[in-house]
Chain A
Amino acid sequence: MSRTFLGMPATPPRAPYGEGNLRGDAAFPRAAEGELRNEQLRRNLGRATHTIRAKRLAVTGELPDWEQLRDAGSALKTDTMNRLPELLEELERKVTERGGTVHWARDGVEANAIVARLIEATGSDEVIKVKSMATQEIGLNEHLESRGITPYETDLAELIVQLAHDKPSHILVPAIHRNRDEIRQIFLKEIPGVDPSLDAVPAHLAAAARAYLREKFMTTKVAVSGANFGVAETGTLSVVESEGNGRMCLTLPETLITVMGIEKVIPRYQDLEVFLQLLPRSSTGERMNPYTSMWTGVTPGDGPQEFHLVLLDNGRTAALADKVGRAALHCIRCSACLNVCPVYERAGGHAYGSTYPGPIGAVLTPQLAGMHAAKDDPNSSLPYASSLCGACFDACPVKIDIPSLLVELRHQKTEQSGTTPEKLAMKAAAGVMKRPKLYTAAQKAAGLGRVLGGRDGTISHLPPPFSGWSDSRDTPAPPRQSFRAWLASDEGAATLQGAADEGARQRAAAHDDPEEQR
């Protein structure tokens, strides 16, 4: 609190290190290595991403005002970030007025503890869950299990992931890396009492999930959800889904606990008219998703009679403090950027090591959890998991300029690298290049470095402190003579003159024969 009185703003902290699911075990290139060798995975991913791309283009093309909707969505998010404190306080006030209870969580650890305490207070030792990125991010399931509470994921893809003891690999379709035969195997092995003659027809697999979860929906007293939108003006929360598992969880239990990132608040109820057009068309490529639920606090005689809203920071304020990076908080989790990304399509979601994969994950994850929390932090590799082709920017319904954010993060990584020998060497090189005489002398000296080169003329192992450089790339051994020295020599002058003569001859010939100009 003292900083408020002093008027000195402090940089907010990132999500705590070692908690939740915002950091992988290995840097992106190494994590992607195994995935790239998995041909099944690449086939599944290629097929799925291409299917959904075509659907998205078809339904966004149907709307002549699609670009105007994107402009509105983008501006609404900027406006929200500008007014975040007042909007969150308004949301809190409205939810409370309508019989809900609002909790604030500085980070995932605190949010997990709040949710576990609320579940324990109901006396229940199991909970049904709606697919939620926020609870995946904070590792809620793992925490609940450690407290003796069994969480049941009810979204079909999340169920597949949970039954396979796997991790989600996509924001929208977390089991996108699995094909129907693999899913059949998982169900046969993990669902108690499943029909052993179950085949791999998707409709039959969905029916098996329906039968398995039906009883859970009817009997479980507590549900945990995320939220797609929280309307400050009215206190209305919204979950967008397809299967009806969301409606089940939001309607049938006695207690509902919703975990929402603080950036999910939107100013007005009317703003839903923008996001309810942008999200389904960008996400599943449908004009509208089958089901959307909107509820405001508690309604007597309809739905859960106890409602808790947990507002989660977990590094979001750290992202907000970055004037460029803050745009990543505009994300509405549609996953369109994943489906168009050439890197995601080949590497898959697991290589990113985070709940948030793909282009948006590569900018959001480092901002929430940081890139320099440990030596060789895997998150510092994420801004490089991109060819900067820009397809993600074009696909984003709220116009997040992901390529620019990636470049900014690369810049920050380079800046943060501090006084590494590599950085000192670059600085020295810059100084030398500014002085031509010194540069010529340095090039002569570098010629001596040829002794380090192998038979193929490359240096693959430099001594420390330069081993970091040569570990990841071969360096050509310096040539006997520098380009500048060669150009100044008789041989260089003759070559240059020859090229000039050849050019003049070609121009003259082209003038005679207009066909040549084509």
Chain B
Amino acid sequence: MSAPATARETVLGRIRDALALAPAQDVTVPRAYRTGRTLPDDQRLALLIDRLVDYKAHVHTCTADGTAATVAAVLHDRAARRIGVPAGLDRAWLAEYDGEIQEDTAELPAPRLDALDGVVTASAVSCAETGTIFLDGSQDQGRRALSLVPDLHVCVVDLSTVVTGVPEAVARLTPSRPTTLISGPSATSDIELERVEGVHGPRTLDVVIRTDA
């Protein structure tokens, strides 16, 4: 006597039956949409800034050697006295910051992150056309909770990592990494479809774009 079919066998069997009853129609996926686009630095920068501002992110540009001064100024303006940073963040970026710095570890519980005024991270890739920043959990970006729980996120973006469109950005990702796409601060349109910035994610997003890095 054979064992009763598992749910897995049953569902896969049903799918095969369905495909036998209504056979597949041959299809080739047409990829005529735009891919592999490139834009000069100044145009990519202008497009990214336009899109970030449109979705209520605050944008600051600087050169690589001005990173520390810009980050310190942003944190000062936001009155952020205690900030979190991922373990692999370039500490030179915080050389001019005079507040308290909490280095993140996997053991730090979420309520401790909640007590921070903000967080400073790097980023993996950005898409200019949609104003989207991709974090991939690398050492300079940290685990996902770190850039989520504090109410202020200061994110450093190097212009060399900014690509034009979504296909160019997806091509640069590593699928196995936990990846977060961020387009502006958290928002909701649930009340009368009116966009309100700031719900559960960071209510303030400051983007520091390094134009020569």
0 or 1 for each of B1-35: is its CB under 8 Å from A? (1 = yes): 01001111111111111111111110111111111
Q: How far is the CA of A243 from the CA of B191 in the complex (A)?
A: 12
Q: How far is the CA of A201 from the CA of B196 in the complex (A)?
A: 10
Residue of A nearest to B2 (CB): A1
Tell me, yes or no, whether A160 is within 8 Å of chain B by CB.
yes
**Chain B interface, >50% SS class:** loop
B contact residues around A252 at 8 Å (CB): 110, 145, 149
0 or 1 for each of A75-116: is its CB under 8 Å from B? (1 = yes): 110110110110011000000001000011110001000000
Tell me, yes or no, whether A44 is within 8 Å of chain B by CB.
yes
Q: With A68-B30, A160-B190 given, is the CB distance from A293 to B180 under 8 Å?
A: yes
A contact residues around B171 at 8 Å (CB): 270, 273
Tell me, yes or no, whether A395 is within 8 Å of chain B by CB.
no
B contact residues around A320 at 8 Å (CB): 15, 18-19, 22
Within 8 A of B (CB), among A357-387: none
Tell me, yes or no, whether B83 is within 8 Å of chain A by CB.
no
Verify B13–A206 contact, CB threshold 8 A: no
Verify B106–A301 contact, CB threshold 8 A: yes
Tell me, yes or no, whether B61 is within 8 Å of chain A by CB.
no
Residue of A nearest to B203 (CB): A210
How close is A5's CB to chain B, nearest CB, in angstroms?
10
A contact residues around B27 at 8 Å (CB): 75, 78-79, 82
0 or 1 for each of A1-43: is its CB under 8 Å from B? (1 = yes): 1011000011111000000000000000000000000000000
The A/B interface has a contact count, at CB < 8 Å, of 274
The segment from A173-181, A444-452, A469-477 that touches chain B is A173-181
Verify A244–B186 contact, CB threshold 8 A: yes
Q: How far is the CA of A274 from the CA of B33 in the complex (A)?
A: 9
Q: How far is the CA of A391 from the CA of B182 in the complex (A)?
A: 32
Residue of A nearest to B199 (CB): A243
Verify B15–A173 contact, CB threshold 8 A: no
Tell me, yes or no, whether A326 is within 8 Å of chain B by CB.
yes
Tell me, yes or no, whether A355 is within 8 Å of chain B by CB.
no
Q: With A206-B191, A245-B199, A251-B145 given, is the CB distance from A317 to B186 under 8 Å?
A: no
Residue of B nearest to A55 (CB): B193
Q: Of residues B6, B10, B28, B127, which shows the largest number of chain A Cβ atoms within 10 Å of its Cβ?
A: B10
A contact residues around B175 at 8 Å (CB): 231, 233-234, 236, 269, 294, 296
12 A-B residue pairings within 8 Å (CB atoms) = A104-B8, A105-B11, A209-B199, A210-B199, A214-B200, A233-B175, A243-B199, A290-B185, A311-B11, A317-B11, A317-B18, A326-B22
Which B residues are within 8 Å of any A CB, using their own CB?
Answer: 2, 5-25, 27-35, 51, 55, 106, 110-111, 114, 127, 129-132, 137, 143-145, 148-149, 166-167, 170-171, 173, 175-194, 196-202
With A84-B19, A209-B199, A251-B145 known, 6 other A-B pairs at CB within 8 A are A48-B192, A217-B200, A243-B199, A244-B202, A301-B106, A303-B145
